[in-house]
C-alpha cells in the first residue's frame, strides 16, 4: 500500500472541507459577500475550516480511501457538476427511510443487469404503484453491503 503524505491528503480534502464549511461560514457571516480569499484567512480561520475534516479522517481510518477518492472527484468536477451533486445529496437526505431502501434495492438490482434489461426495469418501476414497489423491494432486497447509488454527476458504468 503506498504511503500517503499529509500535505497531499490535505490538498485533496481541501475542496471537500470548503464545500462543507464555506456555505455555513458564509451564512454565519450574515451574508457578507466580502469574505476573504483563502490566502487572506488567518491561521485560526483555516484551522476552523479544516478541523472537521481532520477529525473525520482520524476517526475513520477504514473510510480514508473513500474520503480521498471523493475529494479528488470533487476537485475534478466543474461548477455545474458540483451543483448537481449537491442537489442529488440534498434529495437523498430528504428521502424517507423506506424510499431510500427502495432506491438501494433498485440500484443493486440494476447493477447486475445489462443495459436493455435495466431500461425495462426502469420502465416497469415507473408504472408500479407504491404497493407494487414495496412488494418488489421485499422480494428483491438490497444486500447489506449494497453499493450506494452514484452521485448524479458521475457516469454510470455498464457491468
Residue 32: pLDDT above 80? no
Surface-to-core class of residue 78, CB atoms within 10 Å of its CB (0-12 exposed, 13-18 middle, 19+ buried):
exposed
| The pLDDT of residue 154 | 44
105, 95 contact by CB (below 8 A): no
Domain co-membership, 104 together with 59: no
- Count the residues in the chain: 159
Number of structural domains the chain divides into: 2
Phi, then psi, of 124 in degrees rounded to 5? -60, -45
Global pTM value: 0.52
Q: Are residues 104 and 65 in the same domain?
A: no
Are 127 and 70 members of one domain?
no
In a domain, 1, yes or no: no
For residue 105, what pLDDT band results from cuts at 50, 70 and 90?
A: very high
- Is the pLDDT at 14 greater than 60? The verdict is no
Together in a domain, 60 and 19 = yes
The pLDDT of residue 158 is 41
What pLDDT, in 10s, does the model give residues 66-92? 999 999 999 999 999 999 999 999 999
Domain that holds residue 40: 6-76
Of 22, 43, 76, the domain-final residue = 76
**Confidence at 117, pLDDT banded by 50, 70, 90:** very high
Dig out the grid coordinates for 159 from the structure: 457491468
In DSSP notation, 23-76 reads HHHHHHTTT-TTPPPGGGS-HHHHHHHHHHHHHHHHH-GGGHHHHHHHHHHHHH
Whether 16 has a pLDDT exceeding 80, the answer reads no
pLDDT of residue 25: 52
* Buried-state track 113-133, b at ≥16 Cβ within 10 A, e below 16: eeeeebeebeeeeeeeeeeeb
Same domain, 123 and 65: no
Q: Does pLDDT of 39 surpass 80?
A: yes
Asked whether residue 102 is domain-assigned, the answer is: yes
- Regarding whether 58 and 28 lie in a shared domain, the answer is yes
In this structure, the answer to whether residues 17 and 67 fall within a common structural domain is yes
Answer whether residue 42 shows pLDDT above 70: yes
Amino acid at each position: 500500500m503506498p504511503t500517503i503524505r499529509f500535505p497531499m491528503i490535505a490538498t485533496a480534502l481541501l475542496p471537500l472541507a470548503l464545500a462543507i464549511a464555506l456555505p455555513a461560514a458564509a451564512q454565519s457571516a450574515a451574508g457578507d459577500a466580502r469574505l476573504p480569499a483563502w490566502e487572506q484567512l488567518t491561521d485560526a480561520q483555516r484551522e476552523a475550516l479544516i478541523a472537521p475534516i481532520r477529525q473525520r479522517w482520524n476517526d475513520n481510518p477504514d473510510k480514508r480511501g473513500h474520503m480521498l477518492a471523493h475529494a479528488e472527484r470533487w476537485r475534478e468536477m466543474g461548477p455545474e457538476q458540483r451543483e448537481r451533486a449537491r442537489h442529488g445529496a440534498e434529495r437523498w437526505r430528504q428521502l424517507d427511510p423506506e424510499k431510500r431502501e427502495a432506491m438501494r434495492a433498485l440500484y443493486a438490482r440494476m447493477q447486475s443487469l445489462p443495459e436493455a434489461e435495466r431500461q425495462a426495469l426502469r420502465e416497469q418501476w415507473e408504472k408500479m404503484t407504491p404497493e407494487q414497489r414495496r412488494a418488489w423491494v421485499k422480494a428483491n432486497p438490497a444486500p447489506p453491503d449494497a453499493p450506494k447509488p452514484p452521485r448524479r454527476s458521475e457516469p454510470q458504468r455498464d457491468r
